[in-house]
Each structure stands twice: as structure tokens, then as C-alpha cells.
Amino acid sequence: MGRVHTPHGSFDTPAFMPVATAGAMKGITPKQVRGTGSQIILNNAYHLLLRPGPERMARFGGSHRFMRWEGPILTDSGGYQAFSMAQIRDLNEDGVTFRSFIDGSRVHLGPESSIGIQQAIGSDIMMAFDDCPPARGELDASEYRRRVIAANDRTARWLARCIAAHRHADRQGLFGIVQGGTEPDLRRASVDAVCAHDLPGFAIGGVAVGEGPQAIHDTVRMTAPMLPADRPRYLMGVGYERDIWAAVQAGVDMFDCVLPTRNGRNGFVFTPAGPIRLRNARFADDQDPIDPGCDCEACGGGFSRGYLRHLFMADEMLGPTLASIHNIRHFQRFMADMRRALSDNLPTSFERRWPVAVQEAPPDRDDAEVTIP
């Protein structure tokens, strides 16, 4: 446990950061986000680069003023989205050139322009622009190692360029990202290269890119302890409660994930006993809240499962809003209770209160359905 201080306030670790992709938490006001207990949120540099763009973002004085979020903000580098989502035109040592999904224009993103948009956003924590190799897939062992080594090397060169381009080290912290795939010696090599720089925090990248859950946990357990103990350790894009709890036990401090909001928008809500689908007909006459133990605006406000189901069946925007608020609050209650349990050295009682933390897999897990936008 710990506490991280930023120019826009502090946050407790282990921390969960909900994702305000394009400068807004979908359907939720900043006041409602604060009401969930969230202390820090994430913006996506890729989305804000394309719209409203760095010049406009700078004119508005950055994301804090633009979206009216007064607390800490972390930005990713935009690289992951540019590599995975966009129609790539060119990828080389200078970065990636792709087509904007908004107007089809050619957009370049590399170490310098990633730092540029993140400086315009004015995030408290910026992420280095890195080269994230996909999972091993069909490659043989030596081909996979060659590709991971190349990504390690490029990540190290790009990190040096990010640091050189970073003009606001006094008010924006830059985190390095460690690659290395599932190979222990390559993880070690990347840690040595990345952590050679005196940066305020480090992230474990290249995880949950297609490898299985056991490989994810093995990689996190192997890598987290290699990172400096006196700097925040951030596991990007993870995940379900059990993934977070396993990573915290390995020494990770920070998490972000779109699960609470994306799943909430689809009527998939989290409870200490596991997730439920509000559209299910069995909730039609259910007058209980999603989780009687929850104090969120939905549960504490007395909105029943039956009413929330009605909202989803009727395509009422209020359903996604209330379910997202509940889900973020669920994750924040999970993290707050975890911080208390770790502080009291009572992890077993924590696991009794949150059986989802030790489940092999969420009982109702169905990514294919719940990740539809």
C-alpha cells in the first residue's frame, strides 16, 4: 500500500483507474466519478490526438480544465490503440502512420508526438511510447524471441527519445514501460534497460495481448518484483478482480481497465459473488438492488434490479449510466477493502469477503458478448 502524490492531488495504492477514453467517462459526470471513490482516471492519448487534437486541447488548458476533472489524470501513449485499432499505413523506427477513423486523414504517432499530445493533455502521469509485441501465437520459440528482442530494443530507443522530448518533467511524470513477452530473461533485459532511467514509475507492458490467463499471471509474478520497489508499478489494461488481486500480491500498485464502464453499458454488473446480467428475465420482478452491500448511486439510491433491467430493455441511457457507476464503485470498494486488508495483514479475510478475488474465472464471463461497444 502507498500513496502517490501528483500536481492534481494524491491517490492511494493499490489504485484502480477508470477510463475516460475521449475526455469523458461515458455517461457519467466528473462529480459522479468522484462519488465512486475514484481518485485518478485515465485518458487515451490516441483518441484525444484525433479529436479534439493537441492544439485545441492546449488552448483549453489541458484535460483537467477541458473535462472538469480536478484529480490526477494518467494518459497512455496512444501507441497501443494506433497499433491495434487503426488502419496502419507505415510502421518504422519513427513510429506509426495510420488513417484517422474520424476523417481518414494520415496521422503520425511516434515518441515525440506521443509526448506532445500528452503534454497538451497535461496529464499528471504520461506513459512512454513503446513497442508492444503480440503473443507468441503460431511462432516457434526462436522466432518469438527474435521478435521480443527487437521490441525490447526499440522500446529502449523510443524511451530515450520520449525522455529527450519531455519538456515538463517538473509537472508531468513519465513512466517507462517494460516489455519482454513471456520470456523471463527478456523481461529482465527490458527491466534493466528501462529502469536504468530515473523515472517516477514503471509499467508492465505486453501482458494480456493474447496469451492465456496462466501466462499472464506468471509474467506479472515474474516481472513485478524486478521493478524498483520505491516507485509505483502499473499493470496496464488489467482486469477482473482476480487478476488485480493476483497482481497486487505480486507487488503491482496501479491498474486501469474499461471493464466497469464497457460491461456496465451492456448491463453486465459486478457483485462480490460474481457478475450478473441485468437483461436476464429472472431479474424482471427483482426489487433488490444490484448489491445490497453497495453504497453507489444505483444501489444506495434504491434502484432495483427490475428497474435497471427495464431501463436496458427500453434502451434508456440511464441504465448504462447507473450500471457503470455501480461497476466503478464496485471496483473502488474492492480496492479500498484490499488496501485495508493489506494494511492489517489480513488477506484471508479479504478473500472471504470477495470470493471473486480467488475465483479461477468469473462464473458468468463472456467477453465476446460484453465487449460490444
Contact between 25 and its own copies (CB under 8 A)?
Answer: yes
Binding mask 281-310 for its own copies (x = CB under 8 A): ---xx-x---------x---xxxx-xx--x
Catalytic residue selected from 124, 243, 253, 256: 256
Residue 56 or 89 with smaller CB distance to its own copies: 56
| Stretch of residues binding its own copies (CB under 8 A), selected from 19-27, 73-81, 179-187, 237-245 | 19-27
Whether residue 248 contacts residue 338, with contact meaning beta carbons closer than 8 Å, is answered with yes
Any bridge partners for residue 114, and if so which? none
Distance of CA 202 to the CA centre of its chain: 14
d(CA 6, CA 153): 30
Contact between 100 and its own copies (CB under 8 A)?
Answer: no
Catalytic residue selected from 76, 124, 130, 243: 76
Residue 50 or 151 with smaller CB distance to its own copies: 50
HSE-up of 113 (CA within 13 Å, CB side)?
Answer: 18
d(CA 177, CA 227): 10
Among residues 17, 28, 323, 356, which is the contact residue for its own copies, using CB under 8 A?
A: 28
Active site residue 76: yes
Q: Which residues of 356-365 are buried (b: 16+ CB within 10 A; e: fewer)?
A: bbebeebeee
Contact between 24 and its own copies (CB under 8 A)?
Answer: yes
Among residues 7, 12, 29, 218, which is the contact residue for its own copies, using CB under 8 A?
A: 29
Any bridge partners for residue 88, and if so which? 98
Residue 14 or 78 with smaller CB distance to its own copies: 78
Q: Which residues contact 88 (CB under 8 A, 6 or more apart)?
A: 82, 96, 97, 98
Residue 175 or 312 with smaller CB distance to its own copies: 312
d(CA 230, CA 249): 16
CA dihedral 7, 11, 15, 20 (to 10 degrees): -50
Residue 307 or 354 with smaller CB distance to its own copies: 307
- The one-character DSSP state at 25 is B
The amino acid at residue 27 is G
Contact between 18 and its own copies (CB under 8 A)?
Answer: no
Helix, strand, coil shares of the chain, percent, nearest 5, are 45, 15, 40
| Stretch of residues binding its own copies (CB under 8 A), selected from 141-149, 160-168, 319-327, 348-356 | 319-327
Residue 50 or 82 with smaller CB distance to its own copies: 50
SS3 state at 116: helix
| Stretch of residues binding its own copies (CB under 8 A), selected from 59-67, 145-153, 178-186, 227-235 | 59-67
| Stretch of residues binding its own copies (CB under 8 A), selected from 26-34, 73-81, 334-342, 349-357 | 26-34
- The one-character DSSP state at 28 is B
Q: Which residues would be at the binding site for its own copies (CB under 8 A)? A: 22-31, 47, 51-52, 56, 59-60, 66-68, 284-285, 287, 297, 301-304, 306-307, 310-311, 313-314, 316-322
Active-site annotation, residues: 76, 256
